[in-house]
């Protein structure tokens, strides 16, 4: 594929999957600036890998695998745990009133905190599930079996339920 075709394909990928990649990056980081750095690294890695895509898996699995690998590399470079409070991602619903909006934001923030508090293997499967990936795709992205995906997801849901009950 020529450079113009690659650029067009890359822009289409970012337009289609950019928000999901941003949410995935946010699940591995604690601040917006770290999320943006990781997202930029991921986009660059996708650009570099795109000419090598052979279609052995779906394009979606391909880019999420790249994003996962970039996130793991990012975490290994930034091992020190920051004590900064987690930045909240703003969740807005323009159709609700102020009380409902506040309540919804609180629930979203609590869930987000609970997800970020999960150990990494559980956080990974939850985040990929929230992005709509199936067991087979998650297994391909993480390099584990579908059975392991199911086991991790079951455990992650239990940990999330326990965390959310503690917040009530």
Write out pLDDT tens, residues 4-13.
888 999 999 9
| CATH assignment at residue 33 | 1.10.1740.10
Residue 92 lies in a domain: no
Question: Which two three-digit tokens encode residue 78?
Answer: 């930034």
Return the structure tokens found at 72: 């793991």
Tell me: do 18 and 72 sit in the same domain.
Answer: yes
Average pLDDT, the chain: 85
Do 107 and 72 have their domain in common? no
Q: Flag whether 29 is in a domain.
A: yes
Residue 83 has pLDDT above 50, yes or no: no
Note whether 71 and 120 are same-domain residues.
no
**Number of domains into which the chain is organized:** 2
Nearest of 63, 101, 78 to residue 29 by alpha carbon: 78
Tell me, yes or no, whether 31 lies in a domain: yes
Question: pLDDT tens-digit profile of 30-69?
Answer: 889 999 999 999 999 999 999 999 888 889 999 999 999 9
CATH number of the domain enclosing 112: 1.10.10.10
- pLDDT band at 99; cut points 50, 70, 90: low
How many other CB atoms are there within 10 angstroms of residue 100's CB atom? 11
**121-143, pLDDT tens digit by residue?**
999 999 999 899 999 999 999 99
- Which one of 23, 51, 80 terminates a domain? 80
* Rounded Cα gap, residues 163 and 140, in angstroms: 28
- Greater model confidence, 57 or 1: 57
Extract the tokens encoding 65. 């695998």
Query: Which residues have C-beta within 8 Å of that of residue 133, sequence separation ≥ 6?
Result: 60, 61, 64, 141
Could you tell me if 104 and 74 lie in one domain? no
Q: Which residue from 65, 71, 60 is spatially nearest to 13, judged by alpha carbons?
A: 60
Q: Is residue 146 part of a domain?
A: yes
Residue 84 has pLDDT above 50, yes or no: no
Using the 8-state DSSP alphabet, how is residue 124 labeled? H
In a domain? residue 73: yes
Residue for token pair 């990012």: 74
117 and 47: one domain? no
Q: Say if residue 74 is in the same domain as residue 104.
A: no
**Structural domain containing residue 139:** 99-168
Q: What's the confidence (pLDDT) of residue 166?
A: 83
Residues 72 and 3 in one domain: yes
Rounded average pLDDT over 134-160: 94
Position 93 in a domain: no
């Amino acid at each position: 594929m020529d450079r113009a075709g690659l650029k067009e394909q890359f822009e289409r990928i970012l337009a289609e999957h950019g928000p999901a990649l941003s949410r995935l990056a946010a699940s591995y980081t604690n601040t917006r600036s770290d999320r943006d750095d990781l997202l930029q690294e991921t986009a660059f890695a996708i650009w570099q890998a795109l000419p090598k895509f052979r279609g052995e898996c779906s394009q979606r699995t391909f880019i999420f695998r790249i994003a996962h690998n970039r996130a793991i590399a990012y975490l290994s470079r930034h091992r020190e745990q920051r004590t900064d409070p987690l930045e909240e991602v703003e969740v807005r619903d323009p159709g609700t009133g102020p009380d409902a909006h506040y309540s919804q934001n609180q629930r979203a923030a609590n869930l987000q905190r609970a997800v970020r508090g999960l150990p990494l293997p559980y956080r990974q499967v939850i985040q990929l599930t929230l992005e709509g990936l199936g067991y087979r795709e998650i297994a391909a992205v993480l390099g584990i079996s579908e059975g392991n995906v199911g086991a991790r997801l079951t455990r992650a849901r239990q940990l999330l339920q326990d965390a959310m009950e503690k917040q009530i």
